[in-house]
Structure 1
Amino acid sequence: MYSFEHLFPSPSPTAGGSDGHQESAWSPEIMKVLESPWPLASEGEMLLMVYRDMFAHLFPFVIIPRDMSSVDLRAQRPFVWKAVMLSASVFDATRQSKLGEELLADIGKASIVDGTRSLDMLQAVELLIGWWYFALKSPQVTNLLFLARSMCVNLSAMSYGSQGEDPTYGPLDHLRAYAGTYYLNTIVFTTNKKPDVFMNTTQLDYCSKVIQATMEYPSDEYLIQLIKVQQLSQNISTAMVGNGMAPAMSLPLVMVIQTFQDELDTFRASLPPHLAHSPTLLCHIAVAETLLKDLAISDQRCHPEHMPVSDRLQLLWSCIKSLNEFFEIRFAKPEVEGPQFLIIMASDMAYTLITGIKLLTLQLPGWDLHSIIQELDMVTIFDRQINHVNDVINQRRSGLLSPDRCATEDPLERLVRLMRTAQGLVSMHLEGGSALAMGDGMGDVLGGTESDVAWRDVIGVAPWAVDESHGLMDLAA
């Protein structure tokens, strides 16, 4: 049963001396416990159960044995315990904010001041990024991703315990942690088109082979498919980024695109029946297809000398098709019934929204704006996403420490404001009231008008984690 003991404890008298006086139980130590946002034993068990039932299946890279209690988890893997409590508190905005801030501070002290490198902390960092992504600033996300990577340099020599102990880990837990680090990095950096910071896949291939050969848990099959689709995305992003990082193509661009599309189709067809309709996997496929086709937005890369206009138009319409598939999957079920996706997939949502806006602002013979809007109504899509997030915000206000009473703003509220700004600017552009123009990823945000600042806010800060220096948007006032 849910217990309110951690909020309203009953002070039990402590026996005093022979004079019969009793010492108050409201000691500084007790008050410190009461002020802590971390749950006590009974609530910890409940939150661990919530995590197992609602969250664990979405991130198969961290395994918590079914027979491990919250008390044991806290004693043996304190960082992971805190990350689990944070994740399971997703529908209590104020409390999750407090837990996230404390865990972030604990990780910073342990990693920088104490020099801790442990599997416990690595798993906690992954859970923190995955489930608290929307509250992190873009530099914080980058720092945490590279902290996780630094702990993967020599996993075999890593201390398995945070307190110098050796709690029981499974034989493949460190391999899953490495794969989890790769997965999170690719989600952020492929859509940001930063091939210079992609992780090398040599060690990943070894980890995947061992996990696939062993299949210690049923969730390992899902893990393998997540890695495979992200490897495809990384390969596509590397080949299509067009900044000199990728090797020169020996085949015509259209043939390269078709080759990658065939690989994605093969991957989709090879999914086992119980994963063939996985929302996360289908969204990853749609994003990979969009990454493959969005180079058609670039006038520089798709000049008629390099690609016939008819082929370019076909790619652009294919890009719209992939975007629509992504949005339909994302909006299929309300998040208030339970998380449908890992929170960090907001990065993919940002990328698809920005790509959709680019398609609306592209000027090309044969690219008719009216026809495009009929297929890709970005104003309506923004409206659906805003309503989607607002429902989650309202649900998060149902926590015991309501934001209304604690005067704490939910980080998601800022996201809603940013999306409303973007929606308004897009609507103005479609109505002919503004000269909104999109860059192809090669320029910087232009000018210093109020609208420029608004776009900068939309793309340059959390929870998008989209690096402003990429110049994803050019706004010509």
Structure 2
Amino acid sequence: MEHASAPARERRQLLRCLPDGDSEQTCQRCLRLGKICVFSEARGRAKDKSRQSNTKIKEVEKRINDIYSLLQDKVAHGNVAQAPASTNTEGTFMPVAFPTQGVDHGVNLGQFDHKSPAVFPPTPASMNMDTYANDNPDVISKGLLSIPEAQKLVQVFKQDYWQYCLLPPPLDQDLSTMRSERPQLLLAVLMVAAQRNVTLQRALTREYRENLAKRTLVEPKKDVDLLQGLVTYFTWYCNSPDISGHQLNIYATLSTTLANDLNLGSIVLSQTKTASWLENCRLLAAIYLLSSTTTMAIRKPVSMPYNSAIRTCCQALRAAGEHPSDLYLVQLIQFRRCLEEINGTFQYDVVDGRRPSLEVVDISLNAFERTIREIGHSGPPDGHVFSHHIRLAEHHAIVYLHEVVLHIPPPVTQMPAGPKAEPSDQALVAKYTSLLQRCLQEAKSYLNLYLSMSTRQVELHTQIEKCYMSYMIIVLLKLAFNSFNGTPDDPFPLRKYCNVSQYFQSFADVYKGRALGSQGYEKTNLPDTMMGFHDKLLKIKNWYDRIECFNQAEDMKVLKDMSPLNFEDILTNELMLNDFDWSSMDFGSFDMATSWE
């Protein structure tokens, strides 16, 4: 405490007063007490120990960084010996020697670049340093892949998948450019190209999902690169070893949400026509097609309706035609638009509303079928890379048309039939029988075409074709579960004609033959995926054979909500023979991750 009577020059330094005979200056208190004032220099407040500790840590890190920089400078001038070369041959994968967060994920690494100088462990500062445009170190800097291996995978993608890709990356961009400008798209490209190595693909998929979650939820950073990577990943998501049907709707909704957040539609309508503008058009069109096709297959509401921006995209892609998939993308969108018009015309998903009766559907039915055929014939000629894709889409649209019409009430099976029936009722039964026959015929045409395809063609099928295939399986089951058997004069045992068990067995055999390279089939590059489909189809076949004794549905309307999702939910209820709910018929025909555990 300072004393008011202390000398001015010493007042700031007065710490305490103690008797001292050597001092000639005294304060009033000391004078009154007869003591001598002792003045000493005031000391500063003691520093916080935690701050001292942080300062010491920073000093240590600075010294380590200085040493690290010095060593790197010596390496650059050739003063440090290079690390011994690995004995692994190029292209092989060696296991990770260090676990991540205490857990060894079993990720396979590639050969490091032996011509590069010795690589020293990262310093505390360098571990937080971002080399590229993205905010996180990529799979190369983390050690999942070496640069030569990443370059090789990019080359595989360009050779095998580029011309089939709905959103093709530019061919003129090398690995370093994609790492700095399109890191998320690069990661998706690496995942697609690594399908032949399941272990590596799982590691890349895990890394991609973590980045996607971080950039959309934890630290939102949404850009076109993130959306391009998501679309590329979603396109070939069907061939992932960890595919889950429950995530299909999530990816479809997420892609449309990101497109809306980035105002992609407004950009397409307002941006000048440049190379980047055409790329945005292709991106928006691919999002619309993937999301709408997926939501239709799993019987979920459409998250992105057709609008003027998508129409502008189709016009631009049709005029440009720079990539083989541009016209294919436009043609599939035309099929998709036709299906939406079918839903509107026949009020398919309308709960309350006036629906056309079965007696007057012929005109609309014939008009839609003629339109679908015209769209199919306007596509590429036979022998084109997308010719069989277009044929599958055409059969799918015809089947969808007839299936929607079959849901129109009233149920024909409750109407009188036979010699005593009214002529109008007999005509109605005959019309319903014809619709069932046409629907079954087109469904079988699709399945037979799929069975006749080569292994390579099936490998290149995207999420679009897998949604079509899932839908065909559901339609076949719907027809088999329908109790309509024709009339006494003209019997039509629908379940017998469907041949459900035979088709499932044929598909299972084909997938197994492709996986093993047996039975005259070319061996696939995706054996794990093919065997997963084989096991799935056998499970569905065995389930169908067990429940064949169930009472069939009264009409197709009861089976409306069946969709290729959550098939495992009904496996737990299949023994409830007296309380079988048709509305719970929800199949995940390609849910390989959890259905069969």
TM-score, normalised via structure 1 length: 0.77
1:183-215 Cα shifts (integer Å, max 9, x gaps): 101221223344554523332111111222233
CA distance in 1, matches of 2:212, 2:298: 26
Aligned with residue 190 of structure 1, among 293, 296, 306:
296
- Provide closer, same or farther for how the CA distance between residues 365 and 378 of structure 1 changes in structure 2, counting only shifts above 3 A: closer
C-alpha distance in 1 between matches for 2:562 and 2:451: 32
Within 5 Å, give how 1:288-327 maps onto structure 2. Answer: 288-295=397-404, 297-298=406-407, 300-303=409-412, 308-327=428-447
Q: Closer, same or farther in 2 for the Cα pair 1:70/1:387, shift >3 Å?
A: farther
1:427 is the counterpart of 2:545: yes
Cα 1:389–1:96 change in 2 (3 A) is: farther
1:170 to 276, 279, 285: 276
Among 71, 81, 85, which residue is 2:176 paired with? 71
Distance 2:480 2:589 in 1: 24
Change (3 A) 1:66 1:339: same
Aligned equivalents of 1:38, 1:238: Cα separation in 2? 50
Aligned-residue CA RMSD (Å) = 4.2
Q: Name 1:140's counterpart in structure 2.
A: 247
For the 8 Å contact 1:126–1:180, the answer to whether it is kept is: yes
Q: 1:176 to 1:310 in 2, by over 3 A?
A: same
Q: Does the 8 A contact of 1:79 with 1:120 survive in 2? A: yes
- Confirm or deny that 1:262 pairs with 2:370: yes
Bigger shift: residues 453-462 or 42-51: 453-462
Distance (Å, rounded) in 2 between the aligned partners of 1:447 and 1:91: 31
Quick check: 1:286–1:322 contact (8 Å CA) kept in 2?
yes
Please list every run of 5 or more consecutive structure 1 residues that lacks an aligned counterpart in the other structure.
16-23, 159-167, 404-409, 466-477
Partner of 1:475: none
Q: Is the 8 A contact 1:86 1:100 kept in 2?
A: yes
1:429 deviation in Å? Answer: 5.1
1:150 aligns with 2:257: yes
How much has 1:226 moved relative to structure 2? 2.0
| Equivalences for residues 75-154 of structure 1 within 5 A | 75-133=180-238, 135-153=242-260, 154=263
Checking the alignment, whether the CA contact within 8 Å between 2:153 and 2:190 is kept in structure 1 is yes
Which amino acid is the alignment partner of residue 432 of structure 2?
Answer: R
Aligned equivalents of 2:159, 2:484: Cα separation in 1: 50
CA 1:341–1:371 in structure 2 vs 1: closer, same or farther (change >3 Å)?
A: same
The answer (yes or no) to whether the contact 1:2–1:46 under 8 Å persists in 2 is no
AA matched with 2:403: D
SS in 2 for 1:228: helix
C-alpha change, 1:454 and 1:364, in structure 2 (3 Å) is closer
Residues 287 and 348 of structure 1 are in contact (CA less than 8 Å); yes or no, is this contact kept in structure 2? yes
The separation in 2 between residues aligned to 1:216 and 1:145, in whole angstroms, is 26
Aligned to 1:440: 559
> How far apart are residue 310 of structure 1 and its match?
0.9
The amino acid that maps onto 2:281 is L
Structure 2 alignment gaps of length 5 or more? 1-88, 94-108, 128-137, 268-273, 416-423, 518-522, 564-568, 593-597
Structure 2 contact 562–587 (Cα < 8 Å) conserved:
no
Task: Report sequence identity in percent.
Answer: 17
How far apart are the structure 2 equivalents of 1:296 and 1:108?
Answer: 41
Paired amino acid for 1:308 = L
Residues 118 and 82 of structure 1: CA distance in aligned 2, closer, same or farther (over 3 Å): same
Paired position in structure 2 for 1:46 = 152
Q: 1:354 aligns with which of 458, 465, 474?
A: 474
Kindly state the Cα deviation for residue 181 of structure 1 after the two structures are TM-superposed: 0.5
Greater CA drift, 348-357 or 139-148:
139-148
Give distance in 1, aligned partners of 2:139 and 2:184.
18
CA distance in 1, matches of 2:326, 2:304: 23
Is the contact between residue 561 and residue 586 of structure 2 (CA under 8 Å) also seen in structure 1? no
8 Å contact from structure 1 (residues 418, 457) kept in 2: no
**Alpha-carbon distance between aligned partners in 2 of 1:157 and 1:216, rounded to the nearest angstrom:** 23
Alignment match of 2:573 (pick from 449, 453, 458): 449
- Deviation of the 1:343 alpha carbon: 3.9
Query: Relative to structure 1, is the Cα distance of residues 2 and 384 closer, same or farther in structure 2, using a 3 angstrom cutoff?
Result: farther
Aligned equivalent of 2:317: 211
Letter aligned with residue 278 of structure 1: S
Q: Which residue in the other structure is 2:105 paired with?
A: none
**Alignment partner of 1:236 is 2:354:** no
Distance 2:455 2:353 in 1: 41
Mapped to 1, the partners of 2:147 and 2:160 lie a distance apart of 20
2:393 matched to 1:284? yes
Contact 2:474 2:562 in 1 (8 A): no
Moved over 6 A (4+): 10-15, 26-30, 32-35, 443-448, 452-458
Higher relative contact order (CA 8 A, sep 6+): 1
Q: Does the CA contact (< 8 Å) of 2:291 and 2:304 recur in 1?
A: yes
Kept after mapping to 1: 8 A contact 2:238/2:463: yes
The CA distance in 2 between the partners of 1:184 and 1:382, in whole Å, is 26
Distance 1:102 1:412 in 2: 24
Does the Cα contact within 8 Å between 1:187 and 1:345 map onto a contact in 2?
no
Amino acid at match of 1:145: A
Q: Distance in 1 between matches of 2:214 and 2:544?
A: 43
- Work out the CA distance in 2 between the residues paired with 1:220 and 1:13: 42
Residue correspondence of structure 1 range 362-373 to structure 2 within 5 A: 362-366=482-486, 373=496
Q: Following the alignment from structure 1 to structure 2, what is the Cα–Cα distance between the partners of residues 33 and 101?
A: 11
- Describe the superposition over 1:201-248 as per-residue Cα deviations: whole angstroms up to 9, x where unpaired: 332111111222233434322222122122222322444463316974
For residues 345-382 of structure 1, the C-alpha deviation after alignment (integer angstroms, 9 at most, x for no partner) is: 322212111110121221224175657645x4221221
Residue 257 of structure 1: SS of its match in structure 2? helix
